[in-house]
Chain A
Amino acid sequence: MSQAEPDEILTILARDARTPHETIATLTGRSLDSIKAAIADYEKRGVIKSYKTIIDWEKAGVEKVFAFIDVKALPARDVGFDAVAEQLYRYPEVHSVWLISGGSDLRIVVEASDLREVGRFVAEKLSTIEGVTGTDTHFLLRKYKEDQILFVDAAEDPRLVVAP
């Protein structure tokens, strides 16, 4: 492999951000001080951007509408799609902005409380941005898996309780 393996600390925190430093030290066989120093450094350098929780809003009884919107845009001189992307990520209702390959140029995730709000965002804000030439909106219907976490009930451990 040409790329370096990711630091184990990062893979542990990516799996569970609440893992105590002491446990990370045990899991990796490294000293507590070196773990604390490495994490502080990752935070300082922005390698670790944030610690988040994955919530099943539907189970929590909160109505939310998510839309994936593929955006076609004209690249601007010198900055490419950066200018359009910046216009997009300033809106608080925009969760994510990605530059993608394929039929469209940018893909954004918009969170709203209902469909009409998404409609308004597309018609009044998104479409009016200079450089945006087309949009294609997809509403999220059901989550099965997000960030490696299943949103459907996983099967029970089918193994025998004791085996040789």
Chain B
Amino acid sequence: MSNEATPPLSRLVRELAPSGIRKFFDVAASMQDVISLGVGEPDFVTPWAIREAAINSLKSGHTNYTSTYGDLRLRTAIAKHLDAMYGVRYDPKEEVLVTIGVSEGMDVAMRVLLDPGDEVIVPEPCYVSYKPCVALAGGVPVGVETLASDQFRISVEQIDAAWTPRTKAILLGYPSNPTGATMPREALQEIVDYAVRKNLYLISDEIYDRLTYDGQHTCVAALPGAWERTITLNGFSKAYAMTGWRIGYACAPEPILSAMNKVHNYSILCAPITGQMAALEALKVGESSVVDMVGQYNQRRRLIVEGLNRLGLDCHMPQGAFYAFPSIARTGLTAEEFAERLLFDEKVAVVPGTAFGRGGEKHIRCSYATSLEKIEIALQRMERFIKKLPASAQAA
């Protein structure tokens, strides 16, 4: 190494805070016998028929690039699926893009929509990458805090209060990671109407759509007025337990989607073909597995929420995804203190709510993508942990 200092890295990247989850992970990963409620992915393995299809595609020698948009059979199946589920129509030839998970779709969407200084309204607490994706695209994320008392839903009034002439888009992510919140159809329609009035784009991350327990999921693009200004992001990770395959998709009107394909083409070319073949099979044969997994998540949801409330950790009933987001306010600890001490004292990993932005203070995220047995043990350990806290910190 030369003694001379190399030039500084990009200011944007230097100023970007590392993920709050990352720091916590390093500690938890070094410990033994940890029961983790900290995992943001299904505990199920991808259904065997889907894995087998991927193996067979390799045996058949499918190891090449696909179209940058993705394999046309997969895009066609995605378009059919969205039409059947939500009655929303996309032309598979030029309005569907297969991405490396929703993560890439989000990144590309922001890069396509934003000029430097453009603002994006982001309801918080939210998934860790939303605001960084806006910032990395040169935009300015404008967080809007949502509250447990509102079931972590966002209203048009809150959005309007955050609006400025630089506002270009609203980012919606429902069902929500980390709160499990969903949005009623009427409330989403109000937001769509607002976006039409103010001429804003909507980016809707619907990766947890199938994991909706109470009522029906509303696809934003299916709402009157939404289609021409909405980028729909979704994928296979959660519904089909396919996180590691990294297959997602973006759907939008042709002018937006062809711009996204341009960026996608230059940055990653195309999603891996083996994952695409697996995803195609998932849409063909995966439905019964989805129904079975959702049924199991629903049971776990009730078990964990009932248990957390019993411990005095007030928790609204999440209506989607696989996270409970209880308040730890009564313990008098900060979210980081709670998570750290729970990990060291009782070896239960949860994620402090602060990792998900404003509104996450005094909350922890508990993933219930784990077995009933493990949830019960984790609740017992948490009970022991809370009982050891000073009496003033315990539930009455």
Looking at B22-30, B87-95, B188-196, B253-261, the stretch in contact with chain A turns out to be B22-30
Query: Which residues, 287 to 336 on B, are CB-close (under 8 Å) to A?
Result: 295, 299, 302-303, 306
Pick from A8, A28, A159, A164: contact of B21, CB under 8 Å: A164
In the complex, chain A residues whose CB is within 8 Å of the CB of B303: 23, 26-27
Q: Are A27 and B40 in contact (CB under 8 A)?
A: no
Pick from A8, A12, A159: contact of B39, CB under 8 Å: A159
With both chains docked as a complex, state the minimum distance between the C-beta of B12 and any C-beta of chain A, in angstroms.
21
Query: Which residues, 17 to 46 on B, are CB-close (under 8 Å) to A?
Result: 19, 21, 24-25, 28-29, 31, 34, 36, 38-41, 43
Q: Are B295 and A160 in contact (CB under 8 A)?
A: no
Pick from A8, A29, A157, A162: contact of B24, CB under 8 Å: A162
Q: Are A28 and B39 in contact (CB under 8 A)?
A: no
Measured between alpha carbons, how far is A162 from B370 in the docked complex, in Å? 12
Does B79 interact with chain A (Cβ within 8 Å)? no
Contact A162/B41 with A26-B303, A27-B302, A28-B302 known, Cβ cut-off 8 Å: no
Does B351 interact with chain A (Cβ within 8 Å)? yes
Measured between alpha carbons, how far is A8 from B295 in the docked complex, in Å? 9
Measured between alpha carbons, how far is A28 from B306 in the docked complex, in Å? 12
Q: Which residues of B contact A (CB under 8 A)?
A: 19, 21, 24-25, 28-29, 31, 34, 36, 38-41, 43, 127-129, 177, 295, 299, 302-303, 306, 349, 351, 372
In the complex, chain A residues whose CB is within 8 Å of the CB of B24: 162
In the complex, chain A residues whose CB is within 8 Å of the CB of B299: 8, 12, 27-28
Contact A157/B38 with A162-B21, A164-B21 known, Cβ cut-off 8 Å: no
28 residue pairs A–B, Cβ–Cβ below 8 Å: A11-B295, A26-B302, A26-B306, A27-B299, A27-B303, A28-B299, A157-B43, A159-B36, A160-B25, A160-B39, A161-B25, A161-B29, A161-B31, A161-B38, A161-B39, A161-B349, A162-B21, A162-B25, A162-B28, A162-B29, A162-B36, A162-B38, A162-B39, A163-B25, A163-B41, A164-B21, A164-B40, A164-B177
Query: Who on chain A is nearest to B356 by CB?
Result: A164
Q: Are A164 and B43 in contact (CB under 8 A)?
A: no
With both chains docked as a complex, state the minimum distance between the C-beta of B189 and any C-beta of chain A, in angstroms.
28
Measured between alpha carbons, how far is A28 from B302 in the docked complex, in Å? 7
Measured between alpha carbons, how far is A160 from B27 in the docked complex, in Å? 12
Measured between alpha carbons, how far is A162 from B340 in the docked complex, in Å? 13
With both chains docked as a complex, state the minimum distance between the C-beta of B212 and any C-beta of chain A, in angstroms.
15
In the complex, chain A residues whose CB is within 8 Å of the CB of B39: 159-163
Contact A161/B28 with A8-B295, A27-B302 known, Cβ cut-off 8 Å: yes
Query: Who on chain B is nearest to A157 by CB?
Result: B43
With both chains docked as a complex, state the minimum distance between the C-beta of A154 and any C-beta of chain B, in angstroms.
10
**1/0 contact string of A23-61 vs chain B (CB within 8 Å):** 100111100000000000000000000000000000000
Measured between alpha carbons, how far is A23 from B302 in the docked complex, in Å? 10
Q: Are A29 and B302 in contact (CB under 8 A)?
A: yes
Q: Are B127 and A164 in contact (CB under 8 A)?
A: yes
Measured between alpha carbons, how far is A23 from B19 in the docked complex, in Å? 37
In the complex, chain B residues whose CB is within 8 Å of the CB of A23: 303
Measured between alpha carbons, how far is A8 from B299 in the docked complex, in Å? 9
In the complex, chain A residues whose CB is within 8 Å of the CB of B177: 164
Measured between alpha carbons, how far is A23 from B21 in the docked complex, in Å? 32
With both chains docked as a complex, state the minimum distance between the C-beta of B16 and any C-beta of chain A, in angstroms.
15
Query: Who on chain B is nearest to A27 by CB?
Result: B299
In the complex, chain A residues whose CB is within 8 Å of the CB of B302: 26-29
With both chains docked as a complex, state the minimum distance between the C-beta of B208 and any C-beta of chain A, in angstroms.
13
Measured between alpha carbons, how far is A163 from B295 in the docked complex, in Å? 23
In the complex, chain B residues whose CB is within 8 Å of the CB of A27: 299, 302-303, 372
Q: Are A160 and B29 in contact (CB under 8 A)?
A: yes
In the complex, chain B residues whose CB is within 8 Å of the CB of A11: 295
**1/0 contact string of A14-30 vs chain B (CB within 8 Å):** 00000000010011110
Measured between alpha carbons, how far is A26 from B372 in the docked complex, in Å? 12
In the complex, chain B residues whose CB is within 8 Å of the CB of A26: 302-303, 306
In the complex, chain B residues whose CB is within 8 Å of the CB of A8: 295, 299
Query: Which residues, 77 to 132 on A, are CB-close (under 8 Å) to B?
Result: none
With both chains docked as a complex, state the minimum distance between the C-beta of A1 and any C-beta of chain B, in angstroms.
9
In the complex, chain B residues whose CB is within 8 Å of the CB of A29: 302
Measured between alpha carbons, how far is A26 from B308 in the docked complex, in Å? 12
